[in-house]
Amino acid sequence: MIPHYEIHHGIRLRRILRDKRFVLTTFAKLAGYTRPGLYDNFLKPKIKTEKLMKLLQVIPITLEEFLNWDSLNEQNTPHQGERLLLYFAIHKLKPKQVANSLNIKTDELYEWTDQEVFSTAQLQLLATAIQLDPAYFTNPKTALQEVNWMEAYLDKSMELQQCSRRLKALEKKQPAQI
């Protein structure tokens, strides 16, 4: 029996839409939402069942598939940005330290985590700076052993990224303090 963790519905929905390559504006229209309305759902830890079912019908997937989503299965190419986040967690690396070793800003490294596929130059930088074998990103088998926990980690990482972006947006809205 696999232990259960609380799925953040909004984060999981966003990941599924990205895995299925939906254009968010188009998906919002098909689901009867505005784009900002759809983004509001991404922030919700629990989406009401009735709303969630309506959104899942547009994809189309079942509630069971939603709850047990596996973005690292053999049909999907592993999302390389998410795999990088997993690597950080497994090896207890701090993104700021990795960014420094890559000679880039931390914000730029976080942009990398949104990328589905890294460029050859990015893979070479990672191989040189932190000795990360590029095969780690291209072989889904390297991630399949504890996929449920990895899915949980990916959900939580994306949730943390959203929180960080919201904080930055709020900081920009704050009037400059004298």
Which domains are present in the chain? 9-67 (1.10.260.40), 80-173 (no CATH)
Mean pLDDT of the chain: 80
What global pTM score does this model have? 0.46
For 161, residues 6+ apart whose C-beta sits below 8 A from its C-beta are 110, 113
Q: Three-class SS string for 45-96?
A: CCCCHHHHHHHHHHCCCCHHHHHCCCCCCCCCCCCHHHHHHHHHHHCCCCHH
User: Is the preceding peptide bond at 60 cis, omega within 30 degrees of 0?
Assistant: yes
Confidence band of 146 (pLDDT split at 50, 70, 90):
very low
Segment 6-65, tens digit of pLDDT = 777 888 888 888 888 888 889 999 999 998 888 888 878 889 999 999 999 999 999 888
95 band by pLDDT with thresholds 50, 70 and 90: confident
pLDDT for res 177: 62
Structure confidence at residue 2 (pLDDT): 41
Q: Cα(96)–Cα(143) distance, rounded to whole angstroms?
A: 24
d(CA 26, CA 33): 10
Q: At 148, is the pLDDT very low, low, confident or very high (cuts 50, 70, 90)?
A: low
Output the CA–CA distances (angstroms, integers) from residue 72 to 4, 26, 142, 146, 151, in the order listed. 18, 25, 10, 11, 8
Cα-Cα-Cα-Cα torsion 106, 7, 143, 160, nearest 10 degrees, comes to 10
